[in-house]
Amino acid sequence: MGESTARRPLCAPVDPSLSMPVLSPPLRSPSMPPTPWPLPPLLQASAVLHLGAVLALLTVPAHWAWVLAALALNHAVLTACGLWPCSTALGANLLRLPAAAVARREVALTIDDGPDPEVTPAVLDLLDAAGAKATFFCIADRAAAHPALLNEIRRRGHSVQNHSQHHRHTFSLLGPRGFAREIDAAQATFTALTGEAPTLFRAPAGLRNPFLAPVLHRRGLTLTSWTRRAFDTRATDPQPVLDRLTGGLAAGDILLLHDGNAARRADGRPLVLAVLPALLAAFRQAGLRPVTVPEALRVTP
């Protein structure tokens, strides 16, 4: 990766000087009654297009090829938005921390796919040594297999949030009922293990489709993506990973690393353990304070 690429955020273009996150909804407790889901403009336009297609087929059936082409293009756009983790076209998606967190010089380090009995304890020790807090988006099945480790994450002052029950590769292909089953199962698992229901959700690999947002909205969960991503599940060299996280680093950023599914260096050491000390040092040098996402949003469970 060239220098100019390494120093750009790896998500939707966000001006770090802006104090507002991109389409970050005000969080509410899952116990609060849901308000109507605000249909995004793209989906409003898609609904109008589908209605128009039906009318066109009824009134000018000879133009069926053009109608199908328009629908195919529409579905291609919807698919592309679902495959772009930092898209906000399908609904609210938290990409950066809000203005108050920026003013406090806060950043959010998020760690996905654990807990892992080998890697997570070492990650916790590195965070403790730096006085840093992180948000662990955990897979509920793995949490159920390592309940003591899950509670150790919380005991040390970090946040545990929902990263689905099974982390299926086909997650983005689910419909409303499939999303509901997967998310509800994870919420139940985390609540049973910790006594507290998550308020944030991160889709596996960040991939989704238009049916996810209303499911999350009804459950009071906020879709949380990132400002910059390390791609540390594929790399073997820590320096490019660190460059992707620190190039242009700014207050309000949400950064993504992995304790589960962590790539290994040539010597077999998990890559995250090589990257994390330097990343935490970069926070200190920039005068940034790593906090949990709920702390940055000032969410009271």
Q: How far apart are CA 81 and CA 78, in angstroms?
A: 5
Q: How far apart are CA 206 and CA 212, in angstroms?
A: 11
| Between 63 and 11, residue with greater pLDDT | 63
78-122 per-position pLDDT tens digit: 898 889 899 999 999 999 999 999 999 999 999 999 999 999 999
Q: What is the CA radius of gyration of the chain?
A: 20
| Between 207 and 19, residue with greater pLDDT | 207
What is the pTM for the complete model shown? Answer: 0.85
Residues 6 or more apart whose Cβ sits within 8 Å of residue 241: 230, 231, 232, 235, 271, 275
22-73 per-position pLDDT tens digit: 444 445 555 555 688 888 888 888 888 888 888 888 888 888 898 888 889 9
Angstrom distances, CA of residue 271 to CA of 143, 187, 236: 22, 29, 7
Partners of 224 in the beta sheet? Answer: 94
As given in the structure block, the two tokens for residue 248 are 């242009």
Active site residues: 112, 258
DSSP codes joined into one string, 177-241: HHHHHHHHHHHHHHHHHHSS--SEE--GGG---TTHHHHHHHTT-EEB--SEE--TTT-S-HHHH
Residues 6 or more apart whose Cβ sits within 8 Å of residue 202: 110, 112, 137, 161, 162, 163, 223, 224, 225
144-202 per-position pLDDT tens digit: 999 999 999 999 999 999 999 999 999 999 999 999 999 999 999 999 999 999 999 99
